[in-house]
Amino acid sequence: MKNYLFGLFLLTGLVACDNTEGVKELVDSAKRVEMIVVNEGQFTKGSASLTAIYEDGIVENEVFRKVNGRPLGDVAQSISYINGLYYVVLNNSKKVEVIEPHTFKSVATINYDQQGSPRYITPLSDSEALVSDLGRQVVRINTKKFEVLEYISLNSSIEQMVTLGGKVFGCSGRDIVVFDTNKITQEGMRKVSGLEGSLFKTAKLVVDKSNKIWVMAQGQGKGLLHCIDPEQEAVIYTYEFPIIASSNTENYVEGCITGIASFPRIDTDRTKSKLYFDLRVLSNKKNVQVIYLFDMDTKEFKPYSNLLGMGMMYGMGVSPDGDIILCDCLDYSAQRGYIRQYKRNDEDIISRRVGIYPTMVHFTEYDK
């Protein structure tokens, strides 16, 4: 779905005022927004924000605040496009902000009326969605009336999720758990088989062109890439990265893979046939991060991009064209961070200043 901010200039009554600049209109209401950056903000400071990046590279920070005349909230965790609207999950605000994509105007705010730390959201139907939580619960919400329907207690917490074939798959510590979309309960929760010894943390679940699910994991000194068949609820393929331990002095040499990140990043492009992820590589006697490419058809595995000029990676996305977009939070220094764009077949790095602690990049081409 194309994102045109054609309505923003009509909303000047809602635009927040700056002490020095007065009311500010957005850059250009006719241009398409290519990316939306979720900026987490400082914990308890209420400085979460959204950044809109146009197709011509122009950056518009604090777009939600400028349109709605109020801050987004405290600790923005994620953004998802569901049933024609954006759902932004605010962890420490215990709420989900619902936003109209063309104007960034707030449609509704879904507030929790009990304890919770919402993280990610996935659709269940054309009228319901499910929100994961740091606590041992998930929360079912109505996406028509914009209200909480049910707080569902679980024996473990769930992070990132994906809905596929009438089922919800979610990362839960050392397991990938499964629910039927019409039966979100502890009793109805199963575990994907074949994942013994894996640790997922906040791993992203990536769906390929054949509707299989891919996920990265750590496992007893290993780096693993699992492919899950959602119908069987089982692993059907595992690729083990050739990790070399420092104790292996013969093979611990320049360019060898030394491990995967504590919180691995993984994504795909519009083909849904390639996976991009970060691994640690030995370079000049130091461990550095390198983006690798895995072809899901041929199972070919190779380096894709060196991360020159990168500070602290706090998030990663891959554009539909295969550009690597990294979120640099500047070592949690409580200042506005950058997104670093490593363009395909180009050594130049494009850096754009965004909000405090950028954590996620959403590509509007996938809004459908």
Q: Which residues contact 171 (CB under 8 A, 6 or more apart)?
A: 158, 159, 160, 161, 200, 201, 202, 203, 205, 215
Kindly report the backbone phi and psi dihedral angles of residue 8, in degrees, each rounded to the nearest multiple of 5, phi listed first: -70, -35
Where the chain has pLDDT below 70, the residues are 1-29, 308-312, 345-346
Q: What letter represents residue 356's amino acid?
A: I
What is the distance between the alpha carbons of residues 304 and 267, in angstroms, rounded to a whole number? 13
Angstrom CA distances, 41 to 44, 71, 266, 339, stand at 9, 11, 23, 15
User: pLDDT value at position 26?
Assistant: 53
Which pLDDT tens digit goes with each residue over 247-287? Answer: 999 999 999 999 988 788 999 999 999 999 999 999 999 88
Is 238:217 a contact under the CB 8 Å cutoff? no
Other CB atoms within a 10 A radius of the CB of residue 273 amount to 15
Tokens of 252: 């611990």
Other CB atoms within a 10 A radius of the CB of residue 266 amount to 21
User: pLDDT value at position 309?
Assistant: 58
Is 226:186 a contact under the CB 8 Å cutoff? no
User: pLDDT value at position 308?
Assistant: 66
User: pLDDT value at position 347?
Assistant: 72
What is the distance between the alpha carbons of residues 225 and 204, in angstroms, rounded to a whole number? 12
User: pLDDT value at position 297?
Assistant: 96
What is the distance between the alpha carbons of residues 263 and 278, in angstroms, rounded to a whole number? 10
The strand ranges marked E within 21-146 are 22-23, 33-39, 49-54, 59-60, 76-82, 85-90, 95-99, 106-111, 118-123, 128-133, 137-142
pTM of the model: 0.90
What is the distance between the alpha carbons of residues 130 and 163, in angstroms, rounded to a whole number? 10
What is the distance between the alpha carbons of residues 177 and 344, in angstroms, rounded to a whole number? 35
